[in-house]
Structure 1
Amino acid sequence: MGWRDRLNLLTTNARLAWQLRSSKHDEEKIRFARHPSQDQSLECHAMRNGSTFSKAYADSAVHRNGGSLTDDKTKSYRENGDNMDCQQDDLFLEEAEIGGDPRDKITEWQAGWNVTNAIQGMFIVSFPYTVLQGGYWAVFAMVLVAYICCHTGNILVDCLYDLDPLGHKVRVRSSYVDIAAAVWGARFGARIVHCAQLIELLMTCILYVLLCGDLIQGSIPSSVAGGGGPGLGGFSLTCWILVCTAPLLACAFLTSLRRVSTLSMWCTVAHMLINAIVLIYCFTKVREWRWRDVQVRIDIWTFPISLGIIVFSYTSQIFLPSLEGKLRDRRRFRCMMTWTHLAAAIFKALFSYVGFLTWGLDTMEVVTNNLPSTGLKLVVNFILVCKAMLSYPLPYFASVELLETAFFQGRPKTCFPTCFEKSEKGEDNNTFSSSPFSGSSGNTRNQRHLTWWGLSLRLALVLFTAAMAISVPHFALLMGFIGSFTGTMLSFVWPCYFHLRLRWYAMSRLSRALDIMIIVLGVVFGSIGIYYSGHALNRAFHGLPPRPTIKYPVQ
């Protein structure tokens, strides 16, 4: 324990001693007398999810973190805390910390579906292409990055907590932006992380839309025609992107994380089905596997692109604070993170290696387009399109929440009014119900409804992702560039830096060394990846391959 922690402990103990001697804290003295000293869980208002909170610590936490606890929460607790019994305190604090209806809480399985959706995702169809670019080093990177991202996800959530004078963990922050504000200040730090998160989420949405159009276009041959006219295969990529965008407009009505978790579960089911189909086909071609095509050396022009794709595919840190805050039992968070990242590492390494061995140097950016049978390719790509559409709501929902938090909380907090209105009877001519996605059942009283202009802005965001997908039709290269830029910062550098700043005196030397090493790796990977991915993307726009030594244009 450092000298700052010791000084803070002495100050808090002195304040508690003064309050106990004050006449206006008679009820508090009676309450402490009712609970024996050995039962510290009741005395400190322990919560079922493992967090604790004390009234005296609310003041010190707000002072230390520059207002990380909102004024509404602390004011409400100070005014009503003395009139509540211990059970009421537990319920109030749990709702105040999470900031929502207890019915919106999720289990560790539902959180696992969301994390699996984020780190397995659609991008696994491009992983055999990363082996083409990076060889055995790409397979090794899939396992290494999985471990690093699991570690940084855990320490990022650990930064949401502070320790009270009794050594209990107290959740005093609620998001990635709050952590940045505590370290760098609300003016610059919060804005930097907020912008990086928004770029990462919107780029993920753009890539999902782009992949949908690419899959459909690759599935339908140009010979498919009707009545002698131009067939479905004659449609351009732009047309297919617009067709795929139409059902995604329904995401504008999403207001519940539980509904997003359900969609993520079905997305994972589709993911397992696709993996099974492709792997079974690959194992039927085991005698034709191209072992010699897997390179051991590193190609400096292509390996950074592969590394950026791998890092981008493991980025889930944006969702973790919100998911952990919604968990019914937060003690299960680390277990959930371990199993989801372990499963992702095994699936990605196996799928990528076997897929590349099957097609070798002919491996395409989207591996399902290598399937020779038109019927099989059509079935697999149709499932992939459904999976991409089921994956889209999670980053879209998170990006909408970021925008609403930054700009649409109402004056004077933000410059724009809130996008929601409360209706006593659940009916309003100027509002739109969030059903069928809202999850409200039975009683519609005080149900949140989207305003007409709030719904319009959400629809406009979906259309914006479609427009960007049309503008940049290079799936793998764009994914590598974004992964090298925001992915390394959000997944590698910033979690470790924030952890060092907030936990330096409580960390062992080994933990400090591990965090510093991850920061160095993140900076190196990000810098190299941005340069080479940007170079390859620029050449792709001119119809040239990533390697400048090859002169023929990309077909």
Structure 2
Amino acid sequence: YHFRALQYPYRTPPACFQGMFLVSLPYAVLHGGYWSVIFVVIVAFICCYTGRVLITLPDGVRVRASYREIAEFVFRSPPRRHGGERRPPLRKALMTCILYLVLCGDLMLGCFPRASSASPPGVSFFCLLPCAALTSLRHVSWISFWNTVTHVIINCIIIVYCLTRAAHWQPQKVQFHVDINTFPISVGIIVFSYTSHIFLPTLESNLMDKSRFGLMMNWTHILSAIFKALFGYIGFVTFAEHTKEVITNNLASEPLKVTVNVALVVKALCSYPLPYFAAANFLESSLFSGWPLPSCWNSTGDFKLWALLPRAALVLFTYVIAITVPHFALLCGLIGSFTGTMLSFVWPAYFHFSLKRHSVSCFVLGLDLLIIGNGLAVRLRRDVC
């Protein structure tokens, strides 16, 4: 699917998260059993549905270029007076940046267990400081593309390793009953692995052939659900109760584990610029656009030199949070249940219900309400836990 050439880096990058958090799906099956596998399929259906309706207005014409613009249209509120609709996408982008740093720490500690827990994120921080000078959308898009190719190769390596241990699989360890106190972590990880809704409006607005957006959503979610369900199940039956938060740390071959972990660390570092770029654009358009603070850009559209300081501070902020909460699966589940359900379940279904309630069937309206209710239930359950 072809994209228009974007000339000015003021909008959210037209790409989705690359699926780095797939490595925690076997850990989700550890806590959720067969229900986690079932939820992989259910969440794929819900996210596909909400992703498609997110960009559809009452007249059927897609004219909104960002998640924020859709929210402003629904609430009929100017962005500077009511900035609340900006916060969930911004929070999601920042938390994704933090998770990449935490993932780097877990992967490196799996290779070098004697290292300090703050050392790997510290090295990552210095490697990511150049992101403060990243203003080219094309560079981010190309990095994201090659990250996806690399991750597919790494996933295939993990699958092949698990298949070589098929004689030692323990399918009897996959249970139907779940612990209600730990199951929300599994649901959160699954939800988070699908949350790319903050990028979908921009993605669709930059497609040359917009009529194929629905087809693309259907096939990507179908294939994603099949692969994620198999990956989570096969990964768990291979290592059973010894399954770790990041499955690559379970690899018995030390050279293979180190090679795969280092490759994933490099990929995580290269994946960081995408959500970072989105978060930086949100903040710059909200704060540094001439009101309430001076603009980041001069009259010719070039980035001002002093604007690198708040961007560097943003990298530092994600590093501080990463070393404060160094538990990848727990943080991933928390963000998925808290922010992911709102961005992927509640708000898209609410937008569709508000805009289409007079023109769609009762079944569709009931489906919207069911998705909203389930999203709120997952979030409230996460808050209680």
TM (normalized to structure 1)?
0.65
5 Å-filtered alignment, 1:411-430, equals 414-422=291-299
CA pair 456-513 structure 1, distance change in 2 beyond 3 A: same
Q: Is the aligned partner of 1:512 residue 2:373?
A: no
Q: Distance in 2 between matches of 1:103 and 1:246?
A: 24
Q: Distance in 2 between matches of 1:331 and 1:461?
A: 37
Aligned position for 1:181: 72
CA pair 394-282 structure 1, distance change in 2 beyond 3 A: same
Q: Which AA in structure 2 matches 1:244?
A: S
Q: State the Cα distance separating 1:320 from its structure 2 match.
A: 1.2
Q: State the Cα distance separating 1:330 from its structure 2 match.
A: 2.0
Aligned position for 1:289: 169
Aligned position for 1:495: 348
Aligned position for 1:152: 50
Larger Rg: 1
> Matched residues, percent identical?
49
Root mean square deviation, CA, Å: 2.5
Aligned position for 1:349: 229
Aligned position for 2:278: 398
Aligned position for 2:149: 269
How many residue pairs match? The answer is: 382
Q: Is the aligned partner of 1:101 residue 2:18?
A: no
Structure 2: gaps (5+ residues): none
5 Å-filtered alignment, 1:438-517, equals 448-517=301-370
C-alpha contact (below 8 Å) 1:500/1:512 kept by paired residues = yes
CA pair 380-508 structure 1, distance change in 2 beyond 3 A: same
Which structure carries more relative contact order (alpha carbon 8 Å, separation 6+)? Answer: 2
Q: Which AA in structure 2 matches 1:348?
A: K
Aligned position for 2:20: 122
Q: Distance in 2 between matches of 1:269 and 1:320?
A: 20
Q: Which AA in structure 2 matches 1:203?
A: M
CA pair 199-512 structure 1, distance change in 2 beyond 3 A: same
Q: Is the aligned partner of 1:278 residue 2:184?
A: no
C-alpha contact (below 8 Å) 2:9/2:136 kept by paired residues = no
Q: Distance in 1 between matches of 2:94 and 2:9?
A: 28
Q: Is the aligned partner of 1:246 residue 2:126?
A: yes
C-alpha contact (below 8 Å) 1:104/1:326 kept by paired residues = no
Q: Is the aligned partner of 1:139 residue 2:19?
A: no
Q: Distance in 1 between matches of 2:110 and 2:274?
A: 26
C-alpha contact (below 8 Å) 1:178/1:190 kept by paired residues = no
Q: Which AA in structure 2 matches 1:345?
A: A
5 Å-filtered alignment, 1:428-439, equals none
Runs of 4 or more consecutive aligned structure 1 residues displaced over 4 Å after TM superposition: 102-105, 187-190
Q: State the Cα distance separating 1:339 from its structure 2 match.
A: 2.2
TM (normalized to structure 2)?
0.93
- Secondary structure of the residue aligned to 1:420 is coil
Q: Which AA in structure 1 matches 2:292?
A: C
1:369 to 229, 249, 268: 249
Q: Distance in 2 between matches of 1:325 and 1:255?
A: 20
Q: State the Cα distance separating 1:523 from its structure 2 match.
A: 1.3
Q: Is the aligned partner of 1:195 residue 2:93?
A: no
Q: Distance in 2 between matches of 1:241 and 1:375?
A: 22
